[in-house]
């Protein structure tokens, strides 16, 4: 299943990043690098979706994207050497 949601990556003074989403406040994860933090979002979002289902709570509107239905705007961080 594809989901589209805004993410906020907050650098931490001790290193690494904390990731949250204003659309899904229950989403909270972290990683030592941007790549690791974004990888952790996948597992965390799956847990949040399961939590919503268990609570009978509806996911925010427009969170789910039907595969192949349309283009999706994606902003991402790209590091160069």
Confidence (pTM):
0.82
- Report if residue 35 sits inside a domain: yes
pLDDT of res. 65: 72
Q: Which domain holds residue 30?
A: 2-60
* Distance of alpha carbon 60 from alpha carbon 79, whole angstroms: 31
Query: Is residue 81 in a domain?
Result: no
pLDDT tens, position by position, 18-42:
999 999 999 999 999 999 999 999 9
The model's confidence at residue 69, banded by pLDDT at 50, 70 and 90, is: low
- With respect to residue 45, please indicate whether it lies within any of the assigned structural domains: yes
Q: What is the CATH number of the domain that holds 32?
A: 3.30.160.250
Give the number of domains in the chain. 1
80 is a domain residue: no
* 75 part of a folded domain: no
């Amino acid at each position: 299943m594809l989901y589209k949601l805004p993410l906020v990556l907050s650098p931490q003074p001790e290193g690494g990043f904390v990731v949250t989403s204003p659309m899904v406040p229950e989403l909270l994860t972290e990683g030592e690098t941007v790549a690791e933090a974004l990888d952790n979002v996948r597992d965390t979002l799956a847990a949040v979706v399961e939590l919503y289902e268990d609570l009978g709570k509806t996911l925010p509107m427009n969170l789910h994207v039907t595969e192949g239905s349309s283009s999706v705007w994606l902003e991402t961080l790209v590091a160069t050497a």
